[in-house]
Chain A
Amino acid sequence: MTAPEVSGEESVTTIVTPIHLDYRYTAGLAQSRFLTGISEGRFLGQRCPRCNKVYVPPRGSCPTDGVATTDEVELANKGTVTTYCVVNVPFAGQSIELPYICAQVLLDGADIAFMGLVQEIPADQVRMGLRVEAVWVDPSELAPNLASVKYFRPTGEPDVPYESFSQYL
């Protein structure tokens, strides 16, 4: 195929086609319970009646068994760092200082780790097995979203040996 002579005008090589779609998002039953718990300063998980594992955040169904998770379980405010990473890359809209620590925290009572920031400890001292506790925003600022959890900080308890959490990695 041959393009015609398009005199005078520079050839068009791109077009802009903006998209805007509005949605009304439903958290669903399980996620709503979790977020309501967050707005109350609590971590709520759900247990699978078949494998007995406790999932947080709960999604209403056990991802292993495909059955509804039924029992609500309140998890402790503290847990163990199972793994972590040190982030040196800035991102748009960032307010946190670099480097910062992103960690998987196995809350006491849960069978799946929960993602959060770890602060109040130098980056090079964070380690697997570190005991941490959640630091929440002021009670007046609690809302049903994860910004209510500011970060996790060391509790000062002795580290947990690797063997106790290795299956949760």
Chain B
Amino acid sequence: MTNPVAVVSFAQMRNVRREDHRNEVEMLLPVVSEAFANVGLTKNDMGFVCSGSSDYLVGAPFSFVMALDAVGAWPPLRESHVEMDGAFALYEAWTLLCEGEIDTALVYAFGRSSPSDLSRVLALQLDPYYMAPLWPDPVAIAALQARALIDEGRATEADFAEVAARSRRAAKNNPNAQVSGDFSPETLLSEDYVVSPLRRHTLPPISDGAAAIILAAGDRATELVERPAWISGLDHRIETHALGARNLTKSPSTKRAAVGAGLLPDEAAPSLEVDVAELHAPFAHQELILRDALGLTDSVDVNPSGGALAANAFMVAGLTRIGEAASRVMDGSARTALAHATSGPCLQQNLVCALSAERPGAGGARG
């Protein structure tokens, strides 16, 4: 690992319940264009392009190939794709930049949840022999985790409502959020259960969206922006897919990823302090599990964007956490930040990205 890498540009589409005028390419194009325009670059300046999306949302194979029209793939690009959230595409781009062969990369993500029934599509990410044939929807699976947390005495339904209320209030300052406003936890708790113990406010909204980030390495980053958001560490860990073999109330992979990203000295470290943490917690109770795994102190500003409870474009929300956290470093309001992304049922796999206003020293970043 040689070159330090930074986020130098972030753009996103306003998240909506249903974008069904424009298709994925038409939706993505202005976002990619804005990301380039922020730093005066074009696709010809990119050493690498990597995207995150899912064919299951589109209902068509190789849908990410068509999305390249939004970038312009001639002359041929060095390009890759992950059938995952764009945060994981960023991880791939980051490793290539660290190597030193290239010094700029475009990462983008897009997803329209509206064309399909997510409760059906997401059942297919589960074990195909033992679980998927029962067609459990993601709310049901998350509800099992929420109840386990309540049973252990570590959280209450009122705590979930507090998370939702705080997120929606914060989202009032986010023009790209879908759900925002002032709601008292008491009002939220009066909602009916969707799948007990989860009520509507504990669930993520269903969103269509797109986002793009431009990464730059070393001096290239400082040439492009005044305050690059340096990635001081990046790590991704995965737990078993056998749901019944996991302790759903803890997130050991998040903790291990935080150690790998250099935010914790070891797994026994009791607390972690950064100015801002953008956590990808699609369900309210998951924010509590992540806070616990990371050991976030009370001084950390968690999800100033409103987080995934305010907008959750599937395949985009994780990359958006990185962009939102990086934005606060780039605008000078935060010196240190943490962005988290998740994938799989009940926080099965987790990525932690450490961001800093300070350029990492020689030897680059941890990861």
- Give CA–CA (A59, B72) in the complex, Å: 12
- Contact status B26-A23, CB under 8 Å: no
Which listed residue (A26, A29, A63) contacts B115, Cβ 8 A? A26
- Contact status A67-B117, CB under 8 Å: no
B side interface size, CB within 8 A: 32
- Contact status B114-A24, CB under 8 Å: yes
> Which stretch in A13-21, A37-45, A134-142, A161-169 binds the other chain?
A13-21
Given A22-B116, A24-B20, A65-B59 contact (CB < 8 Å): no
User: Contact mask A55-85 → B, CB, 8 Å, 1/0?
Assistant: 0000111111111100000000000000000
A side interface size, CB within 8 A: 24
- Contact status B72-A26, CB under 8 Å: no
B133 contact set on A, CB distance < 8 A: 15, 17
Given A17-B132, A59-B25, A64-B72, A25-B115 contact (CB < 8 Å): yes
B69 sits at the interface (CB 8 A): yes
- Contact status A61-B120, CB under 8 Å: no
**Could you tell me which residues of chain A, from 2 to 35, have a CB within 8 Å of some CB in chain B?**
15, 17, 19, 21-31
- Contact status A63-B74, CB under 8 Å: yes
- Give CA–CA (A28, B120) in the complex, Å: 24
- Give CA–CA (A65, B29) in the complex, Å: 11
Residue of A nearest to B23 (CB): A28
B71 sits at the interface (CB 8 A): yes
Which listed residue (A23, A29, A63) contacts B69, Cβ 8 A? A63
- Contact status B128-A66, CB under 8 Å: no
B66 contact set on A, CB distance < 8 A: 59
Chain A nearest CB from B106 CB (Å) reads 10
**Could you tell me which residues of chain B, from 217 to 259, have a CB within 8 Å of some CB in chain A?**
none
B129 contact set on A, CB distance < 8 A: 15, 17
- Contact status B117-A22, CB under 8 Å: yes
Chain A nearest CB from B127 CB (Å) reads 11
- Give CA–CA (A26, B27) in the complex, Å: 12
Extra 14 A-B pairs, beta carbons < 8 Å, given A26-B23, A67-B72: A15-B129, A23-B59, A26-B21, A28-B21, A28-B22, A28-B26, A59-B66, A60-B23, A60-B25, A61-B29, A62-B69, A62-B72, A64-B74, A65-B72
A-B contact pairs, 18 of them (CB 8 A): A21-B59, A24-B20, A24-B114, A24-B116, A27-B23, A28-B22, A28-B23, A29-B21, A60-B22, A61-B25, A63-B68, A63-B73, A64-B73, A64-B74, A66-B33, A66-B70, A66-B72, A67-B29
